[in-house]
Structure 1
Amino acid sequence: MGEAISSSETHAPEILSATGVDLSYGAQLAVRDAHLSVARGEVAAITGQSGSGKSSLLYCLAGVLPVARGQVRFEGRPLGGLSDEEISTLRREHFGFVFQYGELLPELTIEENTALPLRLAGQRKGPALAAAGEVLGRLGLGGLRDRRPSQVSGGQSQRVAVARALVHCPAVVFADEPTGSLDSANAAAVLKEFLGLARSQGTAVVLVTHDPAVAAQADRRYSMTDGVLSPGEPL
């Protein structure tokens, strides 16, 4: 038998990086000289208190906010060189998003909410709903597919948001306090399902949180104070 290769000798390819990133709101510098790297299938947590700049950095990484200086790269390609249309296509086809309050569309069913990224990418309704149903089933939500968001609990709604973020097997999911609105039991359950499904798909996750228990589930942790990001520490 061949000699086993240790994890320290194997490295998943980098998929997302930030180099020397600054972000300003007028005269206020919200992010200062941030450096970050995330590999395929890796979960990176950015911790910090409210107002520290962690959410601002997340939106820079996702191409939602333009950086004032430095560079964000996805698969080696600088986001700063992309047109607005190219950025929109990138976010629609390769990125997923999970927010603190789920932000489901009230007029759509649970299944339709989950299928939304596929429908926006041009997939036909039947296959999109079938894919949504499969992911909902994996998250224990198969029986809720015909309900509206107002007919499910907060924990269930957040699971639906996770399903929606992962249904199109994105390369990267950006999660902004994804369990912040839940009690500890529901938060732990949602986080376990979210990260388990993401890792099984090889999806990288960039997770913003102020909760040390949430950050402890990551593979690498960064901390942010007054717009300054500390070097990432493997956990």
Structure 2
Amino acid sequence: MEAHISTSEVLSARGIDLFYGQSHAVRGASIALSQGEVVAISGQSGSGKSSLLYCLAGVLPVVGGEVRFEGQPLGTLGDDELSALRRDRFGFVFQHGELLPELTVEENAALPLRLAGQRKAKALAAAGEVLGRLGLAELRERRPSQVSGGQNQRVAVARALVHRPTVVFADEPTGSLDSTNAATVLQEFLSLARSQGTAVVLVTHDPNVAARADIRYTMSDGVLAREQDMA
């Protein structure tokens, strides 16, 4: 377990509820995340953990309770403000990477910077630096179809962290990988996030992945419970 320093709360939820029709997907969940902290939410498929993740990221609107980012209730933000927040302050890693096939590895990694208006040369240089830290410097000009699944997922990690976001939301980030690649990607992901002071919300069904977090929660039938803090 890498050492971490939590200096201030950046993201919190208090008593949030989410429904899909008549189904109560998230039931009064409360959670807090501090700067540079890695929090894992584990549970079986259908337990509500991914729904909670997207509530915390402002993708799904809650119907009860409140989500705050740096003290600002997400419910008070308009669509454009939420989009800008997710673009500039948040990062995302998905189970299957979700890279754009027509772009090179380097261009995929640079995408958040380009969407934020950064000039291409500067964005590619920043992407190249992060890719180098993830052992992908020699693959910069390749397309996603020309690299392995584990390498694609590392590119997704680079894309999530290249703009030094405050929080990264990771939904089963190693779920599509074999155990060896999963361990490598997770190690590189969390090490880079911690070195940048980026907080991580990590959703997983794998107890080995959850064990790498600083704080662990479990979810069952939409109910969130905090486990004992990791030493």
AA at the equivalent of 1:77? Q
What is the TM-score normalised by the length of structure 1?
0.95
Structure 1 144/221 Cα, relative in aligned 2: closer, same or farther at 3 Å?
A: same
Gaps of at least 5 residues in structure 2 are none
Listed as ranges, the matches of 1:88-103 within 5 Å are 88-103=83-98
1:20 pairs, out of 9, 15, 18, with 15
Distance 1:232 1:122, change over 3 A: farther
Pairing of 1:138-217 with structure 2 (within 5 A): 138-217=133-212
Runs of 4+ off more than 2 Å: none
Indicate which of 111, 122, 127 corresponds to 1:132.
Answer: 127
- State the structure with more CA Rg: 1
Say whether 1:121 aligns with 2:104: no
Question: Are the equivalent residues in 1 in contact too, given 2:17–2:64 (CA < 8 A)?
Answer: yes
3-state DSSP of counterpart to 1:80: helix
CA distance in 2, matches of 1:231, 1:156: 33
Mapped partners of 2:43, 2:187: distance in 1? 21
| One-letter amino acid of the counterpart of residue 51, structure 1 | G
Contact in 2 for aligned 1:71/1:78 (Cα 8 Å)? yes
Residue 30 of structure 1 pairs with residue 39 of structure 2: no
Equivalent of 2:49 in 36, 50, 54: 54
CA RMSD across the alignment: 1.0
- The answer on whether the counterparts of 1:36 and 1:232 sit within 8 Å (CA) in structure 2 is no
Matched, 1:73 2:80: no
2: CA distance, partners of 1:188 / 1:166: 18
TM-score under structure 2 length normalisation: 0.97
Report if the CA contact (8 A) 2:66-2:75 is conserved. yes
- What is the Cα deviation at residue 231 of structure 1? 2.4
The one-letter amino acid of 2:166's match is A
Aligned CA distance change for structure 1 residues 113 and 131 (closer, same or farther; 3 Å): same
Q: CA deviation at 1:11?
A: 5.0
Q: Residue 44 of structure 1 corresponds to which residue in structure 2?
A: 39
**Partner Cα separation in structure 1 for residue 182 and residue 6 of structure 2:** 30
Aligned counterparts of 2:129 and 2:68: Cα–Cα separation in 1: 32
In structure 1, list runs of 5 or more residues that go unmatched.
1-6
Secondary structure of 2:226's aligned partner: coil
Whether the 8 Å CA contact 1:18–1:34 is kept in 2: the answer is yes
Distance 1:108 1:234 in 2: 41
The equivalent residue for 1:234 is 229
Q: In structure 1, what is the Cα distance between the partners aligned to 2:226 and 2:99?
A: 34
| In structure 2, distance between residues paired with 1:158 and 1:231 | 28
What corresponds to 2:82 in structure 1? 87
Contact 1:21/1:34 (8 A) holds in 2: yes
What amino acid sits opposite 1:230 in the alignment? A
CA distance in 2, matches of 1:234, 1:37: 13
Distance 1:52 1:44 in 2: 17
For 1:197 and 1:151, the matched residues in 2 are separated by: 24
Q: Could you tell me how far apart the structure 2 residues matched to 1:231 and 1:111 are?
A: 38
